[in-house]
Structure 1
Amino acid sequence: MPEEDNKIDHFTLEYRKTNFDGLPRVKDERCWEIIDNIKGTEYTLSGLKFDAKYMNFRVRACNKAVAGEYSDPVTLETKALNFNLDNSSSHLNLKVEDTCVEWDPTGGKGQETKSKGKENKGRSGTPSPKRTSVGSRPPAVRGSRDRFTGESYTVLGDTAIENGQHYWEVKAQKDCKSYSVGVAYKTLGKFDQLGKTNTSWCIHVNNWLQNTFAAKHNNKVKALDVTVPEKIGVFCDFDGGQLSFYDANSKQLLYSFKTKFTQPVLPGFMVWCGGLSLNTGMQVPSAIRTLQKSENGMTGSSSSLNNVTQ
């Protein structure tokens, strides 16, 4: 409104989450959530979870006697990053389901044996070439790429980051022996491990034989002299060229890479003997936004890794 109207006592705001763009639809819509008794002509809606792609909003003016008609609904798109794990290209020794991944030592051998058995059934002569053993794989969801293999026990997210600021959290099982959390270009090779190429950035936790916690990029390692948190928060500022890792509970900064992303990046995860679960579709916590302003340019970076060999 251009100016305050003394005939209006307050406003009522209603909103609902939806996966449809445009005007609200009667079918499959959620119930309106109501915020009443708004005195001003501006209101900030906080504490939202991005579990739907869009939100509808409408407002009406009220006085002490009557309420006016609702405004035409407005649809706004939520910008948080919602992603699942891409089972189509994950290592065969990883059991992947939506936002969870677990190490499965028999997965690869079992699937390959089953696949080869079907291919050779009723045939004689030379066995099928190795490339036909992928027949049992599920179809690729986000374009085609080779499945990770060898000792690259890796799975990537199914949604690329091309711009903006995004945040997600990762929790490891207590018995997980080794895991990495970070981002990578889609061009990461099928034998490559996170942090051992110039196309990937990560922090790595090793609980096997000796306990180590380190940041990795381009086969360079920076040991982190902090306690491994229960949950790791990942903040990716694509346009600002920053990838930061936090203790998700205390919001303590663990490490920050400074770089210039030249391609879209995918969330990346490595798991050996254990499992990880993800929480995506989250707003960037206000505490991290504040830390980014104060810590920007003052933390460890990928350039510092160039001076540290593995």
Structure 2
Amino acid sequence: MSGFVKERSCPFTEHLWVFNIPQHLREREALQRIITTLANKNEELHNFIETLNHLLAGVQVNSSRVVSDLEEEFDTLFSILEEAKESMTNTIKQEQARKSHELQNQMLQSTNALESSEELLEFATHALDIKDQEAFTKVSNAVLLYVRVVTMAPAFRLTMKPKATDTMSHLMVDFSQERQLLQGLRFLPVPRAPEFEVQDCLVVDNAVTVVWRMPAEDSKIDHHILEYRKANHEGLPRVQDERCWEIVDNIKTTEYTLTGLKFDSKFMNFRVRACNKAAAGDYSDPVTLETKAFNFGFDPSSSHLNLKVEENSVEWDPQGSKGLDSKVKGKENKGRSGTPSPKRGSTPRSPAPRGGRDRFTGESYTVLGDTSIDSGQHYWEVEALKDCKSYSMGVAYRNMGKFDQLGKTNSTWCIHVNNWLQSSFAAKHNNKAKSLEVAVPERIGVYCDLDGGLLSFYNADSKQLLHMFKTKFSQPVVPAFMVWCGGLSLMTGLQVPSAIRSFQKAENGLGGSNSSLNNMPQ
């Protein structure tokens, strides 16, 4: 058969069609498949051989390096032993010289005393042989006088006890323990995985202290490596939203404190590993700590058109409403010159919205936060630009009217700073103000306890209380801000500072007797 059977109406004809392929074509196709398979296998073998060659070279290089390190360690050990030997030998020689000097001096003095004693003995012996009584008396008196003179000499008052002994045993060295240590020299083991002491870990004031221990005492541990990352779920990390580990290296103790954190996630994962001079050990089982804090930003859709809003900053923008209809704008600014006043005059009509941003208008230069507070205790901080003329911060109900200004309605609470014309610092609510007789801090902390009905303002640095509102919030509130001729920056992801928690506990313990709680009509 020399052609293909194209009829494929049934399995039998399909079978005929396949087997009607010329034999040489089938053989060529089979050979081509074999060639392709062999080529792929050859490439795999080439790559594998290259990998093996690389590993062999690495084994050679690393072995040489380890041997070199070992020789260096032993050379260092020998050097230390030689230095110790030389120092100890010098000590023995110095002790030998001291004792020899003392004994030789004592011997010289004793020898001189002996010579004097022998002379006196000989003179006295000769005196005994004198027969003449007068001569004997003269000689005897001379001997007695000589005895008095000689015995007064230092040599005759010497102690007969040696000033030094010949023993040198106090300079002997016992190397039995060192010998055992040297005989027990082994290659450094890989350190075991540390274990977290979860009950001792602490999360407070946007700082996290983690504590761990080694499962066995190991004096060879050189340092620890701590790794951490943020997470939005409890438990082990999930693959789909894993974040990169941040690394803190060369920790010499078994605890570490991370400070200045922004808690923009609900949890943080931690793991740690121990390292000796040779290697890093396995990671510990990860531990997850809760780092819950209030996170929000400015809501651009709620801002006045004259405010330039980013996530964590807002600035006065006098050109922001240039896109409005010129007639409407002309009516709105009629009778004004220069920069608009922050003081509220007649209520203008709402201008035509631009891009849906018609939440606030007129002189309500307001922007709200993008997250409501419906329960719990929360804290955030606000910092004003140095040239900011007028600004307010506080909370409000979401039903705040588009012409409403912070502190001038019964649904808004704030403190207001005015640096325009005449400086003032006041707490405002329900169109009533209380002057605050303190300096305006650079950063102001805002504490809101919705369940407890408290809104407090603090110096963010010193935690000095500036003012406290006490009320019963009838609905969730939202952070609210006003700014004119300047700007504000927002810091969130902050825990309630421990100093403020302590203050609030003290206030609750006093039954809320502080006059700042009810110093304004609610």
Contact 1:16 1:33 in 2 (8 A): no
Q: CA deviation at 1:56?
A: 1.9
Q: Structure 1, residues 54-86: CA drift from partner, whole Å, max 9, x if none?
A: 3223467999x9956632x45555321111101
Cα pair 2:323 2:354 within 8 Å, conserved: no
1:134 aligned residue = 353
The one-letter code of the counterpart of 1:8 is A
Deviations along 1:206-250, one digit per CA (max 9) or x if unpaired, are 122211111111112111111111111111122222111111122
In 1: Cα distance, 2:281 partner to 2:490 partner: 44
Cα pair distance change 1:214/1:27, threshold 3 Å? closer
Seen in structure 2, the aligned counterparts of structure 1 residues 242 and 27 have a Cα distance that, compared at 3 Å, is closer
What secondary structure sits across from 1:281 in the alignment?
A: coil
Q: How do 1:145-160 and structure 2 match up within 5 A?
A: 147-160=359-372
Cα distance between partner residues in 1 of 2:500 and 2:270: 28
Query: Counterpart of 2:323 in 1: which secondary structure?
Result: helix
1:31 to 229, 245, 261: 245
1:306 aligned onto 2:521: yes
The alignment-based identity, stated in percent, is 62
Q: Pick one of 294, 305, 309 that aligns with 1:92.
A: 305
Matched, 1:271 2:271: no
Matched residue, 1:102: 315
1:204 partnered with 2:204: no
* 1:237 and 2:456 correspond: no
Q: In the alignment, is residue 191 of structure 1 matched against residue 410 of structure 2?
A: no
Distance 1:204 1:15 in 2: 40
* 1:131-169, Cα deviation, whole Å (9 max, x unpaired): 99435236xxxxxxx611122110011011122222111
Structure 1 CA distance for aligned equivalents of residues 475 and 398 of structure 2: 8
Structure 1 pair 300/201, CA: closer, same or farther in 2 (3 Å)?
farther
Root-mean-square deviation (Å): 3.6
Question: For 2:215 and 2:252, how far apart are their aligned partners in 1?
Answer: 15
Q: Given the superposition, is the C-alpha separation of residues 160 and 300 from structure 1 closer, same or farther in structure 2, using an over 3 Å criterion?
A: farther
Q: 1:291 maps to which residue?
A: 503
Q: Secondary structure at the match of 1:88?
A: helix
TM-score for both structures, normalised by structure 1: 0.76
Say how many residue pairs are matched: 281
State the structure with bigger RCO (CA 8 A, min sep 6), 1 or 2. 1
Displacement of 1:98: 1.1
Taking the aligned partners of 2:214 and 2:498, their CA distance within structure 1 comes to: 36
The answer as to 2:294 corresponding to 1:81 is yes
Query: How far off its partner does 1:294 sit?
Result: 2.8
In structure 2, the CA distance between the partners of 1:162 and 1:168, relative to structure 1 (3 Å rule), is same
Give the Cα–Cα distance (whole angstroms) in 1 for the partners of residues 398 and 324 of structure 2.
25
- Counterpart in the other structure of 1:182: 394
The 8 Å contact of residues 324 and 354 in structure 2, kept in 1 or not, is answered as: no
Q: AA paired with 2:264? A: D
SS of the equivalent of 1:304 reads coil
Larger radius of gyration: 2
The aligned counterpart of 2:462 is 250
**How many angstroms does 1:24 deviate by?**
3.5
Pick the structure with more strand per residue: 1
- 2-side partners of 1:66 and 1:99: how far apart? 41
SS of structure 1 residue aligned to 2:501: helix
CA separation in 2, counterparts of 1:302 and 1:7? 53
Query: Which residue of 1 is the match for residue 216 of structure 2?
Result: 8
- 1:142 aligns with none
Cα distance 1:24–1:58, how it changes in 2: closer, same or farther (>3 A)?
farther
Which structure 1 residue ranges, 5 or more long, are not aligned?
117-129, 139-145
Moved more, 286-295 or 246-255: 286-295
1:300 and 1:102, CA in 2 relative to 1: closer, same or farther beyond 3 A? farther
